[in-house]
Amino acid sequence: MVVVMEVDVVVVEEVVVVAGGGGGGRCCTRMATYRDTVRQFIKGTDGFSGAFAECLCGSPNLYQEGGRKPWNSINFVCAHDGFTLADLVTYNDKHNLANGEDNKDGESHNNSWNCGQEGEFVSISVKRLRKRQMRNFFLCLMVSQGVPMIHMGDEYGHTKGGNNNTYCHDNYMNYFQWDKKEESSSDFFRFCRLITNFRHECEALGLDDFPTAERLQWHGHVPGTPDWSETSRFVAFTMMDSVKGELYIAFNTSHLPVMVTLPERTGYKWEPLVDTSKPAPFDFLTPDLPERELAIEQYAHFLDANLYPMLNYSSIILLLTPDLTA
């Protein structure tokens, strides 16, 4: 997908190769490399921590040498071709029989993960994990440098029943279902809305150039020690933002929980904002949330020691705030 911008005119053109560059500085390229890397890392595949970090930075390994910028990269996890976001965490395999081609059409290499059981009728624990994974994907999109692109309906959890090639259907599979955000899936819609607003509020999450070490520092389970090994499933970084202050963002895509040691900042303390392992409304702690202080208090004994317990397959955003008790 190449987007060419001329003043107030936007031209969108789909091309065969979506992973490469082209078109000079006027063009934005829809990044299949971003899609494949993020899908692999979020589902917990070994060997992708370093590539995932490049994606978070706007893919400088692909763009910087040619003089291009982070905003030349259109980041996406799902598009009109392939699984929807909900189906990405629900199906390991495509289910395209309704297309009349004996399930031979459509992409077979989807990098998807059903979280333990195939299809929609599964255990409550699997459903909870799927919702967590959807939040992880959406959070990743919104904290990555570049231009985020979402597939229509992913913000409410649109499903096509595992069909990843619905070009031939003029029905519910491809229709936007306006009533969905009023149903139980509205919890995810709320999360998407809030994390999107947060991105717009943060100057540091939409940079005109690739982040440098003066603004971004990588961390591992302990500060300043990132793990880029083949078996690493943890990526964390701090980012300086002129509006929000310092942000701590971390992804734990292991099947095991981890106790994270946070960077120490004299006179300040870390405060949780987003934790995808929590059910709504505690997945995003807004200032007007009645139970906000109680939710934060539950982590006080960890945060006082500069620690944070991350569950498996979860991501977090913490904000640095003045420590009034210091």
Provide DSSP, 139-161. HHHHHSSSEEE--TTGGGT---T
Look-up: residue for tokens 């960077």? 263
Distance CA 155, CA 189 (A): 5
- Name the amino acid, one letter, at 132: R
- The token pair at 221 is 């389970």
Question: What one-character DSSP code corresponds to residue 286?
Answer: -
Within 10 angstroms of residue 262's Cβ, the number of other Cβ atoms is 22
* Residues 25 and 54 sit within 8 Å (Cβ to Cβ): no
Does 10 score more than 70 pLDDT?
A: no
H or E segment and range at residue 143:
helix 124-143
Average pLDDT, integer, range 39-51? 98
The answer, yes or no, to whether residue 291 has pLDDT greater than 50, is yes
Q: What does the pLDDT look like over 52-104, one tens digit per residue?
A: 999 999 999 988 888 899 998 899 999 999 999 999 999 999 999 999 999 99
Q: What is the pTM of this model?
A: 0.92
Distance CA 220, CA 204 (A): 21
Q: Please tell me the distance from the alpha carbon of residue 104 to that of residue 154, in angstroms, as a whole number.
A: 25
Q: Alpha carbon of 43 to those of 134, 157, 202, 312: distances in Å?
A: 11, 18, 27, 11
For 287, the token pair is 């200032």
Q: Which domains does the chain have, with CATH numbers?
A: 2-205 (3.20.20.80), 216-322 (2.60.40.1180)
d(CA 307, CA 127): 28
Token reading at 193: 């809305």
Write down the pLDDT at residue 214: 95
Helix (H) or strand (E) holding 300: helix 300-303
What is the residue-averaged pLDDT of the chain?
91
Closest CA to 271 of 247, 291, 237: 247
Q: If pLDDT is split at 50, 70 and 90, which confidence band does 9 have?
A: very low
pLDDT of residue 25: 54
Q: Are strands 216-219 and 245-252 parallel, antiparallel or unpaired?
A: unpaired
Q: What is the pLDDT of residues 210-251, one digit of tens each?
A: 999 999 999 999 999 999 999 999 999 999 999 999 999 999
Residue with tokens 């624990």: 125
Point out which residues pair with 321 in neighbouring strands: 269
pLDDT (0 to 100) of residue 5: 47
Q: Cα dist. 13→2, 8, 22, 73, 76 in Å? A: 5, 16, 12, 15, 16
